[in-house]
Amino acid sequence: MTNLQEKTQNIMQVTYDKAKKMLNIAIPLDEAGRPSTSGKTKVHASTNGNVKTDVTIGGQPLTIGLNAYTPKA
């Protein structure tokens, strides 16, 4: 796990309501965004790779990889 992934894991909040079968993910959103590696999009929120969570499904930790982006203007 990279330092960026560790930082994301500490700020990303994940909850699971088993009765409603609802997974909720809260992660900070940067409205200005930053250029993606390719330069084709602006990244507004990202886990910067896959991050294991404290949520378990069938006894296994749930891993999340999230990217929220817009096309480059």
Kindly report the pTM of this predicted structure.
Answer: 0.77
CB 4 within 8 A of CB 48: yes
pLDDT in tens, 3-56: 554 555 568 899 999 999 999 999 999 999 999 999 999 999 999 999 999 999
Q: Across the strands, what pairs with 46?
A: 67
Determine whether 16 is exposed, middle or buried from the number of CB atoms within 10 Å of its CB (0-12, 13-18, 19+): middle
